[in-house]
Structure 1
Amino acid sequence: MAPYESDDSTDATADGPPSARRKAARYAVPVAVVGVAAATIGLVPALADSGDPDLPKISAQQLIEKIAQSDVQRLSGTVKISTDLGLPDLGGLENSLVSGAGKGGGGSSADPTSKLTELASGTHTLRVAADGQDRQKVSLIESAAEYSLIHNGKDVWGYDSKSDEVYHGTAPQDGAKGEHQLPATPKDFAEEALKSADDTTSVTVDGTAQVAGRDAYKLVIKPKHASGTTVGAISIAVDSKTGLPLKFTLTPASGGAAVVDAGFTRISFAAPAASTFDFTPPKGAKVTDEKDAGVPAGGQGRVPGAPHRDGAAHQGLGEKDTKVLGKGWNSIAVLDSGTKGGIPSSTGKGGGLDGFLGSLGDQVSGKFGKGTVFSTRLVNALITDDGKVYVGAVTKEALVKAADTGR
């Protein structure tokens, strides 16, 4: 089936549903490249599809509404996620840095914070299950080990079979998504993408596909004007019957493979067995409670510096501390890290970790002074010597221009 024509497109203006009218999500930014990479996890994914089912024609506006009205409460299945941010090989250092920062003085390898960074590169298989708002389970299948995150009523449990450690947290009681939640399904990613749609965005229906044996429509979201942004296009495969996103693909403006691919390889809408969500810490396992780790209930689960769900930055930086330059896909978040001197280069006076991190970035200069740009295939960050941080899904040149002009 050929792609649908332009009369099926929408610019996601004020006539669209609330999810298509919200402002783009704001970033909070760390001062290390590993944190910048981890912050992209909430943005993107996909998986190879097959088939070309013959489905009734639908407009982009109708498909967006179908997603918004989707109310799938029960499912189980397998999701495959592949991430290619183009990060340098740090030999496992990034996991040590971020998980260590997330643990504080009394952390656990079973804390969801320490597991989030593992999804920042490579290919991973997840088993997922849900039975309403109060019961979900995500299992990350690793080599000869498994990590499970279980939400059952008021309790959230994380269990790392490799270290035999358990993390216990408390789920929010207001029906909101918990901070412990890992992005695990295409729906999680699609919600973030649709929040970013505004009048700088083109949204079209681009034919059909078959994902995990289900007939689906393909919704394509992309910038109207590609200049300055690193985002090429986002494709969401939407189940034709339920409206549930089955696959999410983001390709960079530079071309090549998708930055991240995430999609169901198997899915069932039957209710999972109640025992799926039962968990009792194994005998002898080390158990860490979030209150013992000095973290307020419901406040753990973010990589340090990663986006906060309400748009405020982590580690005490609120909305008022973050300035946003530009609009839509060219938005650049600016904040003051409070660290003067920037990141030392590999040839400068800085040594150890700072010198190593500095060697990973590109040294730049302009009217703003000097700084270091850390790059991935999607998100770039400029850290200036006076402690300012500029970050966005934009090119290095766009960051330097923003630092020079303040716009």
Structure 2
Amino acid sequence: MIQVLSAIWALLLGIVLIMLGNGMQFTLIGIRGGIEGFSAAELAIVTSAYFAGFLAGARYAPVMIRRVGHVRVFAALGSFVSAGLIAFPLLADPIAWTLLRLLLGFCMSGIYVTAESWLNDAATNETRGKVLAAYMIAQTLGIIGAQGLLTLGDAGTSVLFIGASILVSISFAPILLSISPVPAAAVTRPMSLWRLFSGSPLGTVGIFLLGAAYATQSGMAAVFGTQIAMTAPQISLFVAMLFGGALVLQYPIGWLSDRLDRRRLILWTSALGAASCAAGWMAGDGLWFLMGAAFLAGGVTTPLYALFLAYTNDALSVEDMPAASGGLVLTFGIGAIIGPLVTGWAMQHVDPYAFWLVLGSTFTLIALYALYRMTQNVRPAMSTSDSYLGVVPTASSVAVEAAGSWAAEQAAEQGDEEDPEEDEEDETPDTMPGS
């Protein structure tokens, strides 16, 4: 692992700095939006715009990279992100913020595509799993660290937005000074949603609902905190707990994933998420109960994303895995656009605690659909295959396809190990006495 990190440490450092800036943005929007008097519905539209831009960036970033190269695309998009962050306090208007978030979502998606292309190029068949795991940890640590930085300034001023912009700007240095040219990004055309659903109904429906849950957590958590009169440090801690839970629970859920029927694990994991949301709804003003609910609700979201990827790969042929990865990213993105809109409407017309009701309902739907699929006469998931790999929901199709390739390699290696045994069994009757 040390050898792997020594080869990609500069790139991972740059990713951490980018996530520090981008992670500050998500929480700042909710806090500053409350200060500016924006409604929950308006901030929901602002949140959804980011994921709409992210989805568009995943589609068009590889095209730009093929035209002008990784370095130029990375530098150009990063510059737009840096400028956009400074523009937020200067243009305190919901429409302007929606356009800015659309731009930032597009640019961040392109940055992820570029960085993940470099990471994938630096990995070998033997190290790809470790590289992607390190990338997941770097992203999550960056988001958690960003919440701590928010306590160092006043969201009512421009200071924190400027700080986020600076972090994104300096993230270019370790990346651009250490990377070498790589081939143009080649992202497989996504599998059609109908074909994806036909191959893995649970994977398709589950990842769509999970997109809604993830976007609600990352985009509306700070809005919820603002509307129930949390202080800025409390909101920062609340958001940090969402992502801290993901970092802690990723390994144990992943360990179980390669040993149990994945449908059953999806059922119980999403049920835990629903129960934690129910606890958050009943907690009222109990700060530490809210923190615990956030830890568990956020803790199951990222592992569920990786679970759905692994489960879908189990149901497909090796040749279909890359295209299916692109289809899952698209499905997740559509859910991420819709989720905050539903949550914002509910918070606007019911009360702020509708945040938990919508989030809990989403987890409940995942659990119920998993239970339904378990009653069907379908082939159970191959839980004995070690194809689970922690991938964060913010990853682009490049990382998701790389995870699919890693899963395919694992399946191929397992098949190679099993074939000799099958050959021996086939030959045994011919050599038995009396045959």
- Provide TM-score, normalisation by structure 2: 0.25
**More relative contact order, 1 or 2 (CA 8 Å, 6+ apart):** 2
- Structure with higher strand content: 1
TM-score by length of 1: 0.27
Structure with the higher helix share, 1 or 2: 2
